[in-house]
Structure formats: structure tokens, C-alpha cells
Chains A and B, each alone.
Chain A
């Protein structure tokens, strides 16, 4: 065997860990999904769930009692879309976080760093409190979704504008611009909530907490498409992210247009995250922490980090969502539960991690 073959063999061997991690996480995801099908505040046994699934697949649904109806409703129209939403949003946030952290060179970056969620909240608040929608013909939930989506893209648009005026802007300055815009937007939302009447104020507050339960079969396709866009973009960009992780100067000498790469990543992350914000509100933590968990598990090669972060994000969000449904009789906001469960895991992994990555 010549030396190159030996090198390739050893290199492949060094990636076995990646394969194992991916297999384990996939199994975990499958298990969580299966359990998640029957978890609800209304008691449903696992065998009932299986029966409902089989009946629906065979089109032999037989609803006789209220009990049958509500169980069917929960499994088919609530749990399944919610699980798929959780997987898609977990993937989107985690992959966007992984892309953002590398391209803006900042371990604290996440899909919300650039002010996306504050934009979404302002859009939603404007409609809930004053009925202002950017597309005036829309009403109800659609109007909130559209408003939140468009407004959440404004901070990114401002960053792009600033970047095009100032040629040698550093990635930190890009983030700081986003943070500046974020404060303006958050303050405006707070004012609107403060001035609005109490019922509307409460509705704004509920919206701002973020929940996976708002997505239905009718708009599920949006998060699914966004998730595909996120993972494909992540995989395509991963080789360029590796180059960029050698530093801006080296990346430039390798023929990479660093500024353009930053803008493209920013736009893609903004678009897919805006979809999640519009449909489920802002769910923090996943986008910040899951990429770091992926790094701790399999290292720094972005070609491996992107798929690993994707599945870590799914497991984390769906897992925590299930816990949040059962933890108290009335359920808790998933964002809070993710942070409460995830943070100790994250801190533990940071302490245990031998690789000093940042």
C-alpha cells in the first residue's frame, strides 16, 4: 500500500467518530419522534397512537366517540406537524448558527444576533396592536406571519446597506450594526406593548415567547422548504467556511471573496430564520449552543460540523418541546425549557472539552 492510501485510510478512520455520532443521534431522534407522537396533555397510549397512524394510512379511520375524535386530532393534526416543525426549526437554527459563527468569526453569533427576532416581534406587535400590515389586504394570522417575516429581514437589510457603503467593514462591526438595530426594534416593540390595551399586550407577549404549536399542516411546507434551503446551503458553503477559518487574508489569497461570502451567508441565514420567527416566534439558545455541541462532538471540519449541528439541533429542540408539554399540567414555553435543559449540558461540555476552540 503506498503512502497516500495509508493517509486516506487513516483519515477515513479518524472520521469514524463522526459516523458513530451521526448514527447515535439519528437513533435518538427516531426514538424521540416515536415517543413524541403520543405525548399530549390528553392521555393517549402508545398502542392507540399506532392504531391511529395505521388507520389513517389505510384510510380506515373510524371515529365513534369524542374520545376517538380528540385522540385522532391530537396525533394527526397536532403532534405530527409539531414534531416535523420542531425538527425543521431545530435544523434551521442550528445550521444557521454554525454558518454565522464561522462567517462572522464570533462564537457568540447565532441566527438572532443580527436582530432578526426583534424585527419579527415588531412586525407582529404592529399588527396585533394597531392592525398595521405591510400588505394591507391580509388579515388574521396570515397578516402576522407576513408582517413578522418582512420586518425580521429589515435589520439584515440595514447591515447589508452599511456594508456596501463601508468597504472594509469588519465582521464584528457587522454584528454591532445588527445589535444597534435590534435595540431600536426591541424598544419600539416594548413601547407598543406598554401602550396597547392589556388583552393585546398579553397577546403580543404570548407571541414573543415562541412555540412550535402554531404551525399546522397548511403552513408546514414553509418550514420544510426553509429547512432544505438551510441544510443545502450549509453543505455547499462548508468547504468555503473551512477556507475562511484559516483567516481572512489567507481566504482572500485562496481566491475567496470574503465580503461576498459573508453577505451571502447572512442573507441565507436571515431568510430561513425569518421563516421560523414568523411561524413560531423566536426560539433562542438552539442556534447559539448546538453548533458548539457539534464542535465538541466531532471537531472543526465544517463539512462534518454542518450535518452534525443539524441533527443536534433537531434532537435538542424536539426533545425539549416534548418535555415542555408534559412538565406541568398546562405546558411551558419551549424556548425557556430548551435553555433550562440545554445550558447545563452545554456548560458541562465546555468544561469537559479538551479542544480549546475559541
Chain B
């Protein structure tokens, strides 16, 4: 995409964003609250229409795709899912198959559902009702629905929100594995710097609706960048050859 721009009627949200994604990798999108991370992701899936610039997907302008075609290339899992109706977990994941199979549910669909359940380690929840699940379990079902869509690109908005620490790490690790084994491009909006640093191949750091820096975690997660973007002092340690952020709260109120 080039010079991407998105405005709400009286507010510029995104401006001057130019990014290239040309290989399968796990990309973390970081930045403070309200910086436009979710908006960026929704623009990429044509849920929001950009007001300037251009997004090109496989040599074709995003606007030329029908939303139906996009649904077979890009999957999207939003961060919260409060406005859903409680179907069973299997039915919920089957929704992810709708773009491909339409009305009829085939055996292949169930194979994909089974694989998604296994991948998120929630086979035991298969026939439970969605509203009986904990927030973390719901999050996993939503991710499973995203995988069941079987797209080459996955956009995940805070996939580790609501998860406990073990599951934050295990889900992130699975995402990385999925991305490398199946050659997917996964963009995930993330608030946990250390998870992003540990698992992402590439990090996009946003500030004020624009890209502040992008590159490998080792290049991006630095004391200067974090202080500049988030406004907190920190120290960086190295763990398994990746930067690890420790916040220094002395100057915070």
C-alpha cells in the first residue's frame, strides 16, 4: 500500500502510511491506544474505505475486489466480540466456512473445523454454547473461526486479549508456527511489547496515525523508540536474543 490515508468526517486517523508486505511472516502492529492500529487493519480488509492513497493486493487495487473475493484471501478477527449471539462453538466456527461453502455444510468443512479446534486446543468445547464460555475461551473460538476461513492473509486485532499468561504465550507461539508452516501473512495488533518482540518477524510501530518505525524486533524495540512513542521510560534486557522491555515507572504519576 502507498500513501494510505483514512479520515473520519472531522478527524484524520491515518496518514502517509506506506508499507509493503511481500512474504509470509508474522507482523506485529504496535502503538498506543487510539493511534489507528485497528483502523489500519480494517482498511486493509476493506471494511473501512480509505479516503486517500491506494492499497494494492496481488497487483490489483483493493477497491476492484468484491468483498466476497476478499473473504477468500483475507481473514479478520476483531478484538472484542460482545455483539454475537450464542450459537455452539462448532456452529460459530462453521460461520468461518461460509465464504467458501455457502449454505451447505460439507465433510470438508467439518475437517477444517476439527483442525481449527485442535489448533486452538479447544476440542473439549466443541458443543458448548458460546455464551457459556469464559472471555479467554471465546477469544480462542474467534481465532479458530478466523483460521477456518483458510485465507492466505490473517488480520488479528489483539488476538491475546483476555487470555491468561500461559495462553497468551501459547497462542502467540501457535500463530508463529502457523504462519511459518502454512506460509501465511499474519498481521496482529498487539499491546504486549514483549510478546510482539518474542514472536514477531517484523514490527510496525505507530505514532499519531503514521508509521513511526518498522523493522525487526531488535531494531524497533529500543529504549528511545518506546519512550518516544508510548511516553514511558524503560530498560531493555535481552532474552533469547530478543529485546525484553521493563517499564521504569518513576516519572509516571
Contact = CB atoms under 8 A, between A and B. Distances in A.
Q: Say whether A associates with B.
A: yes
B133 interface: no
Interface string A239-251: 1101101111110
Interface in A1-38: 3-4, 7-8, 10-11, 14
Contacts of A300: 85-87, 91, 129
B127 A14 contact: yes
B129 A355 contact: yes
Nearest to B76: A253
A301 B71 contact: no
Contacts of A250: 76-78, 81, 95
Given A4-B111, A239-B103, A249 B88 contact: no
Nearest to B104: A239
B67 A252 contact: yes
B139 interface: no
B158 to A, nearest CB: 14
A301 B98 CA distance: 14
Nearest to B78: A249
B110 A253 contact: no
A139 interface: no
Interface in B79-115: 81, 83-88, 90-92, 94-96, 98-99, 102-103, 107, 110-111, 113-114
Contact of B102 (A3, A11, A239, A301): A239
Contacts of B85: 102, 245, 300, 357
Contact of A249 (B42, B96, B102, B123): B42
B51 interface: no
A255 B99 contact: yes
Interface string B55-71: 00000000000111111
A254 B88 contact: no
Contact of A253 (B71, B83, B87): B71
B61 to A, nearest CB: 18
A242 B47 contact: no
A253 B45 contact: yes
A93 to B, nearest CB: 21
Nearest to B102: A239
A191 interface: no
Nearest to A235: B103
A243 to B, nearest CB: 5
B134 interface: no
Contact of B68 (A7, A245, A255): A255
Top 3 closest A-B pairs, CB basis? Answer: A255-B71, A255-B68, A253-B76
